[in-house]
Structure 1
Amino acid sequence: MPILFLCLLCLIAVPSRASDLASLANQPYWQVLGHYEAAVPGARPGSSAIHDTGFFLAADGQYNAEHELQATLAAMQAPVGDAPDQHAKCRFPARRQWLASQLPALSPALAPIACPAYDGWRKAKSGASLLLANGYLSNPASFYGHIFLKFDDADNSNDLLHQSINFGAINMQGDSPLVYIVKGVAGGYDAEFQEVDFYRQKHTYGDDELRDLWEFKLKLSQDKLEQLLAHTWEIKNKKYTYYFFKKNCAFRLLELLDVTGSHYAEQANRPWLIPLATPVNIHQANPDAFSAVLFHPSRQTQFEFALNQLTGKALAAFYDIVAAAPAHAGWGALDSLPLAEQQALLDTLIEYGQYKKLGKTSNTPDWQHFYRQVLLKRLALPASETSVQGSIEKTYQYPDRPPSLIGLSVPLKRTAEQQITIRPAYYDLLDADVTHPLFSQLKMGEMVLQGKQQQWQLAQLNVIDVVAVDNSTPIQPHQMLGSWQIKGGWGKLAASQADSDRHAFISGGYGLAWRQQKQLMFRALPLAALQTDFQRVNPYFGMEGQLVLKATPRLSASLTWQYLHGTREQNTLQRREIDTRLVLSKQLDVRISKDIGNRTLSLAGNYYW
């Protein structure tokens, strides 16, 4: 009898004509709610991006939007029963809201019901923000930064206790960085939106990985906030397929925001999407999208800020104490300072301890004892009027340029060939800006075409090209930092190789670097490389040295020297090159390159898009 009642209800409650139902199912908003995607841009939407049976009410709902709509209408009008949280109205509040607005004749049947779980989760959520974490070269998953959603809680003034919604790949345990990159690019991971306490996110990014967080407050009306909350509830813990370059955290968040009518994901029509570029993309599409931008400094930023406030004797005392720690801390220099400088010095030592995790059980007992001494001495003094974190004021700077590049290089010798460079992502040592790790490089998918007039050929394909310098804050004036690089693709290992020696290769090394503030960096490292034509492998060993100068925000230069010796071919490869970059505008720069070994000079113009 209940089954018969439900069948009769379906016949009378859905739109009277099949064409009406099909028209409703093809509405863009229903496609957004079901995450139905077109197999080809511009084609009729096909299957849903979500492949979790818990998200669908029709047996074939993942592949048929009309059947899912029909099943949703029927389930919405079914009796509530003793478990309201399992009812369709409570599981899919965003669907209910939209259907009620589209089918006024069914308003009584689509009226909301009490949903204990959703109502409790929804309660007190008063706003939403996007949180952006800076890029992190120690983890391939965060090469391009990370972005997630946070909901404000009107009942709790401490935002660390607010809830965040994070989209990311799951079940990656045990996979190496190389395996992660391959599987991430090929869609080898499931991913889902998971609810995470914001204090955990702040600890992971700000304390463990030392990455600053930027919070972009979304300007949403109450109705749009309700739509966002309702749909977030629907997709929590539902499985998607993760793709590193496009269907990543940035795209899925834009897609989620589209339930507010923003059309951000629809406009993200390039084959790759970079989390770090997401705020600027939103800002360009809607300059009024954000009501405010807040800064959450990492432990490293807090320590650097505190250290920069020390001057004279207090700064000298800091270096003396740290140099002597942990066994023989020179506390005498502290006692001779005025009270305000003692407070500032001890606050800086506390920040240093947090930055270096000196109080953690993973450290030696001597370091733990030293850190306890710092805390006890600070507790013996009066409290300061302001905290280090509360004193940091920083204004968000949108990236200096778009993330992709196409350039033409013209040699200043008529007999030489021209080059066209296409770089989908992301930055090199000369065009990295304030949003990127200092003195770093991250290039992926870079192609170089070489030729004249109508005769062009692929000269180089750099699948990945990463240079990283440890961004730790130097504690001593001439402290050396770690530096590493890895490069892989097809082409020449060095410009001095013959054109016939273009083959698949991979190279890398680890060494030391020194930097002076944010203007000058020198690094040197041993290199190892393998090049193969898939019949035999040629190993190479050598060295690389590099000097990078950031003279002004518009002018930068580098000097590179590289030496490689082939152990099988007994040949020597060298690269001696000077590169200079001058910024003309947000989307244009010019570069002059001098290949010292080949005695060639070239002029390049680059367009960023």
Structure 2
Amino acid sequence: MNQHIQLQKLSEDPVWKALLQLSRNSPQIHDPNFYISQSYKSSYFELTSFLDALHAPDAKATACRFPARYFWLKKKLPLHDIDLNQCEGLFEFITRAPLETASVVFATENLAQPASMMGHIFFKFGGTNSNNIYVEHVISFFTDLNDINFPKLIIQSLLTGKRGLYALSPYEQTRVHYLYEEQRNLWEYRLNLSEDEKIFLHYYFYELKDVSFTYYFHLFNCGTLVKNILAILHPELLDDWSLWVTPLDVARLLDQPSYVEKQVVQASSRWKIKALNESLSLDSSEEAKIEHRNFAELNFEKKNQKNQFLSFELALAYNDYSYEKDQITKADWNLNRQLLITKKDKILPYGQLDISNYKKPSATIQDSQIFISGLESANSFISQAEPKDRILLVGFLPASHTLFEDNTQYQNESELKIGEVTLSYKPLTQQVELNSFVLYSAISLQPSDPYTGGLSGLFRLGVEPKKQDNLGFKKSFFLEGGLGQTFRLLHDIDLFYLAKIGAESETEAYLAFAPQFGLIVREVFNMKTLFSVEHEFRLNRASYLSQSVTQVYNARRFSIAIQFNQYEKKARRPDDMTPENFSQNFVATYKLFF
């Protein structure tokens, strides 16, 4: 009886549940090879089955297959000693990919890929191998996102699942890929680990090597697995339950001394170019000298010491970027670098650019939200016409953020919506119905610069109300994409345009082309104003001119917004005109981030 109570208590230990990858007592991994019992029934059954296997003739094979579970249970129960160094596969892994230090690395969004806005997160670990060489490796979980059929990719990633890949690779290869090829910043969180924790983590990496994973954007992504692995060291992370675990969620969790002993940032050259270019006011001749790499002629004597230093840092970043993009040879890159460093050191010897507190992933807002909106529409507020409609909207966005939020900790203004659902309630008819479902929406307004260029883009898929001939709205399926440019007029003002093309369907499908112009102003006291003008041309139908202005106050956990919209129907022929050619509405919204 006492043994049963002890085992029952042990099976409820959060570390044991973390080893089994349980979430609210349900398995997140469905591969039968991950469980000793082949089919998961309960944490207690898995524990007793594991202990039975350790008393069977092939006990060594069981311990070699699940070394982390054996290592942990050996500290809790009087088990037979099994020398894990005699496990051939495990021994090869720990000697060829040793773990003396371990980090979690967050790769920020790729400016050219809106789908990467939540970033990517993985483990890095290093040590001296059997050849007495210090080596570093990466354990990463991902899926193939290179499908050119983007709607298919989104549907698979959200609804049916994709094959997940759990891979061990050299760190340098991964670093080059993210930092140079994709131009993404790397934030490294060095884990604070005891010697036993290092062994435990190392063994668990090995346990997962042959598991078959299914990848979902929202249910099981790289952030989910990294958090689950960290939970064997810090089981309290299991208490931090969230509907959707993103890479950014994990970065926020790690931003505290109890987990991390050190943070290191590696900035991509393209990111440094854009950040420095925004903070400096170079004249056209200085820009031209940098752009054409006339570094010998650079002279920033008219600037103060700080701006001279930053100007040379900009030139150094552009020199690096040119080499990474194969625009110059390594010899030219090295010659330019030595020249620029010599000039820079004359201004501020031993000066360094510190970006450790600039655009931190852990400082972004929470990337789930619920919101409530009140909408009132009328023929004309100006003429005091009677309201046509009043609607209450309630919505939920599992991930991640919109253009209206505080995006200052992201690389640029952006939007990523995955699975946003909005319900509407009409007081007059007392009807509740689905208002919209946005399966996927990604917008990236990347400011263009004279050195690296930069396009803005958009892709959206879902169901939402679309304008009708009577300037009312009707739910329609939509699929749209677009390209354009964004210009940073001032540090806090962005002007953008997008040329959008898409297909929409109400009772019948039609094509639409819609140029859009907008202005985003980031103001004091966390205020933000957005202006937008869009002219939608529908094939063989009327066109619609839409104008909107939105004022937002953003706090850390909530936001309040008011929006005014005006729509005007542009008929193809005079006899297509209707009595109501204008429609306006006013929307007030409260959002809560969690």
Q: TM-score scaled to structure 1, two decimals?
A: 0.77
Q: How does 1:231-270 map to 2 (within 5 A)?
A: 231-265=204-238, 267-270=240-243
Instruction: Give the alignment partner of residue 398 of structure 1, picking from 349, 362, 367.
Output: 362
* 2:114–2:442 contact (8 Å) kept in structure 1: no
Question: For residue 449 of structure 1, what is the amino acid of its counterpart?
Answer: L
Structure 2 partner of 1:581: 552
Distance across 2 between alignment mates of 1:356 and 1:331: 13
1:602 is aligned to 2:582: no
Sort the Cα spacing of 1:70 and 1:491 in 2 relative to 1 into closer, same or farther, 3 A.
closer
Deviations 1:489-548 (Å, cap 9, x if unpaired)? 212234886446322122222223222354111122332232213x52122223211111
Aligned length: 554
* 1:76–1:110 contact (8 Å) kept in structure 2: no
SS of corresponding position for 1:602: strand
What's the RMSD between the two structures over aligned residues?
4.1
Sort the Cα spacing of 1:591 and 1:31 in 2 relative to 1 into closer, same or farther, 3 A.
closer
Q: How does 1:501-520 map to 2 (within 5 A)?
A: 501-520=474-493
Distance across 1 between alignment mates of 2:200 and 2:481: 49
1:558 is aligned to 2:537: no
The percentage of counterpart residues that share the same residue type is 18
Q: How does 1:178-193 map to 2 (within 5 A)?
A: 178-193=151-166
Structure 2 partner of 1:572: 543
Sort the Cα spacing of 1:379 and 1:593 in 2 relative to 1 into closer, same or farther, 3 A.
closer
Structure 1 partner of 2:191: 218
1:51 is aligned to 2:21: no
* 2:111–2:446 contact (8 Å) kept in structure 1: no
Sort the Cα spacing of 1:474 and 1:265 in 2 relative to 1 into closer, same or farther, 3 A.
farther
Distance across 1 between alignment mates of 2:518 and 2:275: 29
SS of corresponding position for 2:220: coil
SS of corresponding position for 1:502: strand
Kindly state the Cα deviation for residue 581 of structure 1 after the two structures are TM-superposed: 0.5
* 1:305–1:392 contact (8 Å) kept in structure 2: no
Sort the Cα spacing of 1:316 and 1:120 in 2 relative to 1 into closer, same or farther, 3 A.
farther
Kindly state the Cα deviation for residue 33 of structure 1 after the two structures are TM-superposed: 2.5
Sort the Cα spacing of 1:602 and 1:174 in 2 relative to 1 into closer, same or farther, 3 A.
closer
Q: Please, which moves more after superposition, 116-125 or 445-454?
A: 116-125
Deviations 1:74-101 (Å, cap 9, x if unpaired)? 3576479xxxxx8443332212222323
1:464 is aligned to 2:440: yes
Question: For residue 403 of structure 1, what is the amino acid of its counterpart?
Answer: D
1:351 is aligned to 2:310: no
Q: Please, which moves more after superposition, 490-499 or 145-154?
A: 490-499
Distance across 2 between alignment mates of 1:547 and 1:382: 38
1:592 is aligned to 2:562: yes
1:537 is aligned to 2:496: no
Q: Please, which moves more after superposition, 234-243 or 20-29?
A: 20-29
Question: For residue 249 of structure 1, what is the amino acid of its counterpart?
Answer: C
Structure 1 partner of 2:269: 299
Q: TM-score scaled to structure 2, two decimals?
A: 0.79
Question: For residue 32 of structure 1, what is the amino acid of its counterpart?
Answer: A
Deviations 1:371-416 (Å, cap 9, x if unpaired)? 7445335557886769999533422463353222222333577844
1:280 is aligned to 2:252: yes
SS of corresponding position for 1:253: helix
* 2:402–2:415 contact (8 Å) kept in structure 1: yes
Sort the Cα spacing of 1:17 and 1:130 in 2 relative to 1 into closer, same or farther, 3 A.
closer
Q: How does 1:117-516 map to 2 (within 5 A)?
A: 118-119=90-91, 121-122=93-94, 125-136=99-110, 138-139=112-113, 142-153=116-127, 161-169=135-143, 174=147, 176-265=149-238, 267-270=240-243, 272-281=244-253, 288-304=258-274, 318-323=286-291, 325=292, 330=294, 333-334=297-298, 348-357=314-323, 360=326, 367-368=327-328, 372-373=331-332, 375-376=334-335, 378-379=337-338, 391-395=353-357, 396=360, 398-411=362-375, 415=387, 416-422=389-395, 423-453=397-427, 454-471=430-447, 473-475=449-451, 481-494=454-467, 498-499=471-472, 501-516=474-489
Distance across 2 between alignment mates of 1:430 and 1:135: 19
* 1:489–1:505 contact (8 Å) kept in structure 2: yes
Instruction: Give the alignment partner of residue 97 of structure 1, picking from 71, 75, 99.
Output: 71
Kindly state the Cα deviation for residue 567 of structure 1 after the two structures are TM-superposed: 2.0
Instruction: Give the alignment partner of residue 70 of structure 1, picking from 46, 49, 53.
Output: 49
* 1:168–1:193 contact (8 Å) kept in structure 2: yes
Sort the Cα spacing of 1:503 and 1:523 in 2 relative to 1 into closer, same or farther, 3 A.
same
* 1:350–1:375 contact (8 Å) kept in structure 2: no
Structure 1 partner of 2:571: none
Structure 2 partner of 1:5: none
Kindly state the Cα deviation for residue 204 of structure 1 after the two structures are TM-superposed: 1.8
Q: Please, which moves more after superposition, 410-419 or 260-269?
A: 410-419
Instruction: Give the alignment partner of residue 549 of structure 1, picking from 505, 510, 521.
Output: 521
* 2:369–2:591 contact (8 Å) kept in structure 1: yes
SS of corresponding position for 2:231: helix
Distance across 2 between alignment mates of 1:236 and 1:33: 14
